[in-house]
Structure 1
């Protein structure tokens, strides 16, 4: 197989489908209940494109993460509407009191407000579970372990173990398991074209479901780099330690993004070795997809990416139509 070459496309698994992004455009493809595939292409100008100052190294990672959250919620919301629309026998449910309050207060912006509330709540829960809980668990060992460096390392180990247990637990849910299969299809599609193969179901299915630019790798990098930060930065009181974990998150995310950006755009023995732990972790969040899932991912790619032109320019691929027009 040809050496991997960066394409610029990235994606995300959504409900019964895939979202793929390339430049200012993204496309969502979702399998309908009738077997068809719904595709929606939209334009999204990221914060880093709108404000050049935000493209500075170690700053851009924070806002790229915010962009991915916003875009991810939009894609998930659209896929949920398509998936729910497939069941014609479903009856419309009465809105909850909270939903009714939002509609009355914010009108047409109610959905955006609700998405913002969900994102903020999810972020706070994530900080509590993956940042503060490991810190408290590690501090319980203070009575038997005198080394602050070892305590910081154990905090990082607890953080990784909690994440693994969390992924293992949610993967038992059928919808999440299928989402992980679509996640695998997303990776396979990108790997297919980035290794110089024409985008066909057969080529996609035989491609790897591990990819260096995956969000799962980013999470592991954040956890590993946080260990280095917290070994050096050690406030005396428990409260200050908790505050430091929260305040340093943007800094750690910025450093982690630069690391992932470098490994994701370079291909060498050293880079591949550095990427390997994150790709091992992807074994938790990806599953082997079915061919029909690969078809969905392919349609999302083709809506925003001219893969034939990419293969011509980067791998010298000649297609039958090229020979016919020669």
Structure 2
């Protein structure tokens, strides 16, 4: 298995695939045809010249994936809007509004994520202060609560019908990438044979973020004891970019290597992917393949594997 330098995400009735500075979104429309859109995208890491700086590049990559993800989700959703297409002037206004809405949505998503997964567990762990005043034990409790909230959130949304279909496209994304990285011809039949789990999955990344945050918070507050509740919250928020950057380096390392340690690191993420991916059908695999072939020469990659 060889790293193919391609990644993606599921969108509404489709898949987005990204390779270097290009990405493609393929969507299965209601008339059963596949619409494919390709665009150039310069990452924030490249724009700010930090792509070669470990940890820092991970922070920009995380923001980049959120912005691009929201943008492609919005594009895919546009095919299922029941309203008639607006006139040119109205369409231009709509595009401006969409950009503002997207920026606000990304900002709100970050705030809610930090609040839900970083700040809330801290306050919940504070309920145990009557039982112990050990910062180490309270830190462990906080970490356990954080993981439980994350797992509960995933389990909760995985029961929603629309989300289950999105997760099937998520499975199609993984299967097609696994097919390429195993050097097999990319067809729906071949892709169907491969795992719907992948080491570089965003679910695995988020799970690693949970565990890295536990380690960072435990070490930091053991080395630098802080009494002020406000400062404890502020320091947790300030450490989020560092945690994201370190987690990015871990997930990239795992994606490029095969070893016992990599398998151990990847297992929790694979377990969570049982809930965030579903087995796709052949039509979904066709959509994922259409997205890949719009930006990636997998046949050339196969030639490199045989050298």
Q: TM-score, normalised by structure 1?
A: 0.87
Runs of 5+ consecutive residues of structure 1 not aligned to the other structure: 94-99, 317-326
Match of 2:291 in 1: 300
Residues 1:258 and 2:245 aligned together: no
State the alpha-carbon separation in 2 of the partners of residues 53 and 18 from structure 1.
Answer: 28
Residues 1:209 and 2:199 aligned together: no
Match of 2:45 in 1: 48
State the alpha-carbon separation in 2 of the partners of residues 54 and 295 from structure 1.
Answer: 33
State the alpha-carbon separation in 1 of the partners of residues 16 and 205 from structure 2.
Answer: 18
1:51 positional shift: 2.8
Match of 1:15 in 2: 12
- CA deviation vs aligned residue, 1:18-55 (integer Å, no higher than 9, x gap): 00000111000000101111001111011122232353
Match of 1:96 in 2: none
Cα contact 1:11–1:18 (8 A) shared by 2: yes
Count of residues paired in the alignment: 298
State the alpha-carbon separation in 2 of the partners of residues 116 and 108 from structure 1.
Answer: 12
State the alpha-carbon separation in 2 of the partners of residues 255 and 53 from structure 1.
Answer: 15
Q: Secondary structure at the match of 1:253?
A: helix
Residues 1:179 and 2:166 aligned together: yes
- Return the match for 1:279 from 256, 270, 274: 270
1:243 positional shift: 0.8
1:126 positional shift: 1.2
State the alpha-carbon separation in 2 of the partners of residues 195 and 50 from structure 1.
Answer: 33
1:152 positional shift: 0.9
Q: Secondary structure at the match of 1:38?
A: strand
Mapping 1:165-244, distance limit 5 Å: 165-234=152-221, 235-244=226-235
- CA deviation vs aligned residue, 1:161-186 (integer Å, no higher than 9, x gap): 11111111112222111111110110
- Shift of the 115–32 alpha-carbon distance from structure 1 to 2, 3 Å rule, reads same
Cα contact 1:62–1:254 (8 A) shared by 2: yes
Match of 1:288 in 2: 279
Match of 1:79 in 2: 76
- CA deviation vs aligned residue, 1:214-244 (integer Å, no higher than 9, x gap): 1111111111011111112222222111111
Runs of 4+ aligned residues of structure 1 deviating over 4 Å after TM superposition are 90-93
Cα contact 1:134–1:156 (8 A) shared by 2: yes
State the alpha-carbon separation in 2 of the partners of residues 266 and 44 from structure 1.
Answer: 27
1:109 positional shift: 2.8
Q: TM-score, normalised by structure 2?
A: 0.92
State the alpha-carbon separation in 2 of the partners of residues 274 and 285 from structure 1.
Answer: 18
Q: Secondary structure at the match of 1:297?
A: helix
Residue range with higher mean Cα deviation, 119-128 or 213-222: 119-128
Q: Secondary structure at the match of 1:52?
A: coil
Residues 1:268 and 2:255 aligned together: no
